[in-house]
Structure 1
Amino acid sequence: MKIVEIREKTLPISSPIRNAYIDFSKMTLSLVAVMTDVMRDGKPVVGYGFNSNGRYGQGNLMRERFIPRIMEAMPASLLSDDGGNLDPHRIWNCMFTNEKPGGHGERSVAIGTIDMAVWDAVAKIEGKPLFQLLADRYGDGVARREVFVYAAGGYYYPGKNDDALKDEMRSYLDRGYKVVKMKIGGASLDDDLRRIDAVLSVLQDGQKLCVDANGRFDMDTAIAYAKALSQYDLFWYEEAGDPLDFELQAMLRNYYDKPMATGENLFSMQDARNLIRYGGMRADRDWLQFDCALSYGLVEYLRTLDMLHQHGWSRTRCIPHGGHQMSLNIAAGLGLGGNESYPDLFQPFGGFPDGVQVENGMITMPDLPGIGFEGKANLYQAMKALSDA
């Protein structure tokens, strides 16, 4: 048993949308295929992975460092003790060879993308959905097949007025979502409050709004928004300041006693630990958004969950960023609080397998081997084009 080839291709996910910090007009991602010599149903097992939106494709790092390390390793050194499957932890250690600690940067995205493909292959070799494999290996064996999801959108868009924003949010609610999210910080406070009021006007009982500043604010602006947002019953106030400005995050608790969320731009267990130690996050109400596809993959995410447990946090306070099926499987298999969803953006990489519907803010995981990419026809078409090339 061995990995026979790893392929990577950089693909566009460009869009004219913008948040408070960046536009997505030139956004890319890396698509990876980990090809093995294991046969299932007469075909070799191939694991697939890709990185989340907001960070660009990392093909050069993969081709120059991480893929060669895997391919140059002795195949047996990358297997489980019984030789019956690939070992994601050993493959991760192989990729991290000769890498200094700290300064995680974009290498965490490159490793996380390959790690996703490895886990997809591992679950397929075992003939299980990844969520069930995770429940068996790291949980109590019982997968939580129903997963809470919220609809992320509300981006700034040329010519998009309040009526268009309301129509967008209605479309998510009509598709079964109970929680929706919009961007703030890309306009003045008064304009953003008007936009928030517009969205709140279309919500019904039991429906909630999140707002996301994408790390745009300095201390004074973050506090000004916190005071203004306190009049609303929001699901959360997200990433007010720079992701590594833990003092700013800690200070906000003095001005905003309702739920806050952050963490999507922290790319290691160590950075996540510093947030918990120094960021003033409150385990009874706040939300953590670490995204495995951007932060060294599931191997590192397991370390992060262990750290959270040691600091008295429940994994149910984790709702990952990214809107991808990898985090859906982690949520179902390891009992997270839910997952982000992009109903209309970053296609074909966002969303669920075909036929999966949102009902009352929840989706039910289908029985598909691996991560389940093969169940999403337009996504699998792009993946198969890479592995068949």
Structure 2
Amino acid sequence: MRIVDIREKTFPIASAIRNAYIDFSTMTCSLVAVVTDVVRDGRRVVGYGFNSNGRYSPGALLHDRFLPRLRDAAPETLITDDGNNLDPFKIWRTLMTNEKPGGHGERSVAVGVVDMAVWDAVAKIEGKPLWRLLADRYRGGEADDRVFVYAAGGYYYPGKDDEKLKDEMRSYRDRGYRVVKMKIGGAPLPEDLRRIEAVLSVVGDGANLAVDVNGRFDLETAIAYAKALEPYGLFWYEEIGDPLDFGLQAAMAQVYKHPMATGENLFSMQDARNLIRHGGMRPDRDWLQFDCALSYGLVEYLRTLAMLKDHGWSWRRCVPHGGHQLSLNIAAGLGLGGNESYPDLFKPFGGFADGYAVEDSWVRLPDTPGIGFEAKADVLTVMRELAE
């Protein structure tokens, strides 16, 4: 068997929303199709991958460096020893040929896109949903039959007042989400507190609301917000400062007693390890948001999970960023703590399989082979246009 073609296309996922740090007016996304010569159920097997929101399309990196390496590789160097399937680990090593360690940046996003497509193809060739394949390989066959998800939204938006913010949150609750998340840090503290209280009037207990700063605060501002947020008992206080400012994160652990979350902008096992070593994260209450689609893919994510185990962390403390089906499969197959969801944003790439309702912030996965894109009509249309 062999890879016969690799295709990439950049798509706009722009909108007028903004968080505390960036707006999404020019946001883009890469879609990759890895075409194989394997046929299942009368169709050629194609694996699909894309990058999570918040990082721009790595299309230039893919075309300049990473896709040529795969195209130039001898086919037998990319498959399992028995020749029956693609080998994600061999493919990962080929992608990273002549890449120096460190400086992970956007390179990790490019590799993550291809890695997602490879795992999709691998599971399709085996005729299994990816969550089942992962459970069989790494968890003794044990898989979760449902995954915790929360609805991410609450962005700043032109003309969006408190009533519209409340309407948005009601819509998530109506669709089965108990826990929701909103953006803060893009307005003065009194205004953000008013917005938080507006959302709490919809979701009730603070344990049903997470807030996200997107890395905006210095230590003084972070502490001021922490003191104001403390009485609410929120689900979590997310990405308070620069993602690489482990000193700030460690200081906040001494100030804020409730759960915190971070990690979505750490793009390697080594950066994740530095967070665990130096960031003061508390394994009894804090949450880790590493997103495999932005951080070299599932191959690297497995290394990150192994590191966490070595440092005494439960994988249940991982709730990946991104709201995509790959992380949902990983959560079910490897036993993570949940997954983010974007019910209304970043279409068609965000969201889960059609016909699987969220119930009290839990969702089930389809038995569709691969990541499950074939069970999501809007994204499948775009994917097959690229592949065929």
Shorter-chain TM-score above 0.5: yes
Equivalent residue number for residue 265 of structure 2: 265
Other structure's SS at 2:202 match: coil
Equivalent residue number for residue 331 of structure 1: 331
Larger mean Cα displacement after TM superposition, 223-232 or 290-299 = 223-232
Other structure's SS at 1:201 match: helix
Are 1:76 and 2:58 an aligned pair? no
CA contact (8 A) 1:178 1:206 kept: no
Give, as a single letter, the amino acid of the residue that structure 1 aligns with 2:339: N
Cα deviations across residues 34-67 of structure 1 (Å, max 9, x unaligned)?
0000111122100000000000001111111111
Cα deviations across residues 115-138 of structure 1 (Å, max 9, x unaligned)?
000000000000000000000111
CA contact (8 A) 1:9 1:32 kept: yes
Are 1:316 and 2:279 an aligned pair? no
Cα deviations across residues 289-344 of structure 1 (Å, max 9, x unaligned)?
00000000000000000000000000000000000000000000000000000000
Equivalent residue number for residue 286 of structure 1: 286
CA contact (8 A) 1:178 1:207 kept: no
Equivalent residue number for residue 189 of structure 2: 189
Distance in 2 between residues matched to 1:76 and 1:92, nearest whole Å: 14
- The runs of at least 4 aligned residues of structure 1 exceeding 2 Å deviation read 204-207
Give, as a single letter, the amino acid of the residue that structure 1 aligns with 2:48: Y
Give, as a single letter, the amino acid of the residue that structure 1 aligns with 2:51: N
Unaligned 5+ residue runs, structure 1?
none
Cα deviations across residues 57-105 of structure 1 (Å, max 9, x unaligned)?
0111111111111111111111111111000000000000000000001
Distance in 2 between residues matched to 1:43 and 1:173, nearest whole Å: 39
Give, as a single letter, the amino acid of the residue that structure 2 aligns with 1:161: D
Distance in 2 between residues matched to 1:33 and 1:287, nearest whole Å: 32
Unaligned 5+ residue runs, structure 2?
none
Distance in 2 between residues matched to 1:140 and 1:18, nearest whole Å: 43
Equivalent residue number for residue 56 of structure 2: 56
Distance in 2 between residues matched to 1:236 and 1:105, nearest whole Å: 26
Distance in 2 between residues matched to 1:206 and 1:190, nearest whole Å: 18
CA contact (8 A) 1:61 1:107 kept: yes
Distance apart, 1:143 and its partner CA: 1.2
Equivalent residue number for residue 347 of structure 1: 347
Give, as a single letter, the amino acid of the residue that structure 2 aligns with 1:25: S
Equivalent residue number for residue 302 of structure 1: 302
CA contact (8 A) 1:8 1:30 kept: yes
Equivalent residue number for residue 253 of structure 2: 253
Give, as a single letter, the amino acid of the residue that structure 1 aligns with 2:18: R
Distance apart, 1:145 and its partner CA: 2.0
CA contact (8 A) 1:264 1:291 kept: yes
Distance in 2 between residues matched to 1:205 and 1:71, nearest whole Å: 53
Equivalent residue number for residue 200 of structure 2: 200
Instruction: Give the 5 Å matches for 1:1-389.
Output: 1-204=1-204, 208-388=208-388
CA contact (8 A) 2:207 2:234 kept: no
Distance apart, 1:142 and its partner CA: 1.6
Cα deviations across residues 6-33 of structure 1 (Å, max 9, x unaligned)?
0000000000000000000000000000
Distance in 2 between residues matched to 1:145 and 1:107, nearest whole Å: 34
Distance in 2 between residues matched to 1:349 and 1:84, nearest whole Å: 30
Distance apart, 1:366 and its partner CA: 1.1
Distance in 1 between residues matched to 2:376 and 2:349, nearest whole Å: 9
Give, as a single letter, the amino acid of the residue that structure 1 aligns with 2:131: F
Count of matched residue pairs: 388
CA contact (8 A) 2:206 2:234 kept: no
Distance in 1 between residues matched to 2:202 and 2:144, nearest whole Å: 31
Distance apart, 1:206 and its partner CA: 8.9
Aligned residues with identical type, % of pairs: 73
CA contact (8 A) 2:291 2:321 kept: yes
Distance apart, 1:204 and its partner CA: 3.6
Distance in 1 between residues matched to 2:206 and 2:136, nearest whole Å: 34
Distance in 2 between residues matched to 1:38 and 1:230, nearest whole Å: 55
Other structure's SS at 2:312 match: coil
Give, as a single letter, the amino acid of the residue that structure 2 aligns with 1:248: L
CA contact (8 A) 2:206 2:232 kept: no
Distance in 1 between residues matched to 2:100 and 2:336, nearest whole Å: 30
Other structure's SS at 1:283 match: coil
Distance in 1 between residues matched to 2:348 and 2:213, nearest whole Å: 25
Distance in 1 between residues matched to 2:378 and 2:42, nearest whole Å: 23
Distance apart, 1:209 and its partner CA: 0.1
Give, as a single letter, the amino acid of the residue that structure 1 aligns with 2:326: M
Other structure's SS at 2:292 match: coil
Give, as a single letter, the amino acid of the residue that structure 2 aligns with 1:33: A
Other structure's SS at 1:163 match: helix
Distance in 1 between residues matched to 2:123 and 2:223, nearest whole Å: 45
